Structure 1
Amino acid sequence: MSKATPPAQVSVQMFGLRKSSATRAAERYFKERGVNVIFVDLGARPIAKGELGRFVQKFGLTALLDLEGKKYAELGLAYLRISEESLLERVIAHPDLLKLPLVRGGKTLSYGEDPQAWAAMLEG
């Protein structure tokens, strides 16, 4: 009989804001399952354009935006006609425009509170 090999240490990279309840829920979800969370606080350090680009490429920028959020209304984005490039700049400057957290586990990406996607990240 062979011994079962212990699972490799799984880790995820999470982009979010400390004040975001969805970000805290995701962090709790992964930590309860023994997953190493590499947390990037977007309040302290903006997301890299290339990193954000991965999420935009997979989901589209509109899907990532929190259209119901206070910051979206404050900036008047519902009424502005701006290019995607200009909108990306605003998102980088104001991460609370996004449905947080953005989570990357291996090749799997998710945004917002999405326990199904998080579970898929842990399956491999």
Structure 2
Amino acid sequence: MIQIFGTAKCKVTRAAQRFFADRGIKVQFVELREKGLSKGELASVARAVGGMRALYDESSPRVKERGLQHLGPSEARLAELLAEDTLLLRTPIVRDGARAAVGAAEATWKAFAEAAKGKP
């Protein structure tokens, strides 16, 4: 099943939900304000998208709130930060098993949708 991790307030997250709904594909939505990714899920998604840095939203208000905008955290420190504060993640994270996409990645969503349609 396709999972979408994001926040209800995020326009791109809502666009991802609409994208799959328009194609009749059920998704599991995970509200990051309530529940985050486990360390294992975070590591798996990071591998799929090219590392923790791809998941870190440097332009998020949360980064500024926490005073992290001038930090160049290492991958290990990023993993810690993202595990403890899910609002530092770029959204949406759309996950289909071991495959994942971050942000507005409509081409990848389309591939996930086509694969989902082929599943019983």
* TM-score, length-scaled by structure 2: 0.83
Identity rate, percent:
37
Q: 2:77 corresponds to which residue?
A: 86
Q: Which has the larger radius of gyration?
A: 1
Note the 1:55-94 alignment, pairs <5 A.
Answer: 55-58=45-48, 59-80=50-71, 82-94=73-85
Does the 8 A contact of 1:15 with 1:41 survive in 2?
yes
Q: 2:30 corresponds to which residue?
A: 40
Residue ranges of structure 2 left out of the alignment (5+ in a row): 116-120
Using CA pairs below 8 Å that are at least 6 residues apart, which structure has the higher relative contact order?
2
Name the structure with the higher helix share.
2
Please identify runs of 4+ aligned residues in structure 1 that moved more than 4 A.
Answer: none
Number of equivalent positions: 114
Larger displacement relative to structure 2 (72-81 or 12-21): 72-81
Q: 2:40 corresponds to which residue?
A: 50
For residues 88-117 of structure 1, give each alpha carbon's deviation from its aligned partner in whole angstroms, at most 9, with x where no partner exists: 232123222111111112443101111111
Residue ranges of structure 1 left out of the alignment (5+ in a row): 1-10
